[in-house]
Amino acid sequence: MTGRFVDKVALVTGASSGIGKATAIAFGREGASVVVAARREEESLQTVAEIEAVGGNAIFVKTDVSSASDVRHMVATTVSTYGRLDCAFNNAGVGSPSGIKRLHEYEEEDWDFISRINEKGVWLCMKYQIAQMLEQDPSKNGGRGSIVNDSSVAGLKAGPTAPYTAVKHAVVGLTRRAAVEYGRDGIRVNAVCPGVVETDMVTRAIAQSTEIAERFAAAGHMGRWGQPDEIANAVLFMCSDEASFMTGQAMAVDGGITA
């Protein structure tokens, strides 16, 4: 098999649908051995099947990214199966659980829920991924490893809700700090910041709120929403040797929202 990621191992969280699924399949198509990590088993096994259908190799590891034991097991299974970890896309995330409200109207449990998955989950993933990458030989496979975290345009500007804006800004901050701390170790860390992308999460948000539907309808300056494959393309670029001098960046792939 040919491709940019032959002989490399890629881990994708939230790979049961949407951007995560598209990215996992793209890694498989480009020759990587892929670890599909998510909470939903049936949908994740479908992702594995689609990777195999394009000639790739993949396994599923059931993972709740807010659980340290789950994340530790996810990385350990990656290494026990494939021997190393070269690329990680920390994509798993949730929207605001109770829809659009003003900051003072959110309950504490709403804030804790979104922070636990979107912020703590990214930190836990990086914690165990980086620990593994530090053990790897930097002279092989183009360096010790590359990590991409899924933020959002809400990590670069005010997003639709206060909690979502806060956690996505936190992801950008974690990304930049990790890039500074581990650059000399041969580990690159970047973030992708999608705009409105046609996924199940967006569809559910629209169904819950007329206000969200109106905001999303007006989002971007290209007259359409993004597609999961378009975000996957950016993630694979950042993980590839083509981006070997790129770290600590938050790349907007947003149809011009941040312009």
Q: Which residues are catalytic?
A: 164
Q: CA 165, CA 241: separation in Å to the nearest integer?
A: 31
Pairing mode, strands 145-150 and 250-253? unpaired
Pairing mode, strands 87-90 and 57-62? unpaired
CA 87-76-240 angle, 5° bins: 5
**Rounded to the nearest 10 degrees, how much is the dihedral formed by the CA atoms of 236, 239, 245, 247?**
110
46 touches 256 (CB < 8 A): no
Q: And the tokens for 44? A: 């994740």
For residue 110, what are the contacts with CB-CB under 8 A and spacing of at least 6?
A: 96, 97, 98, 163
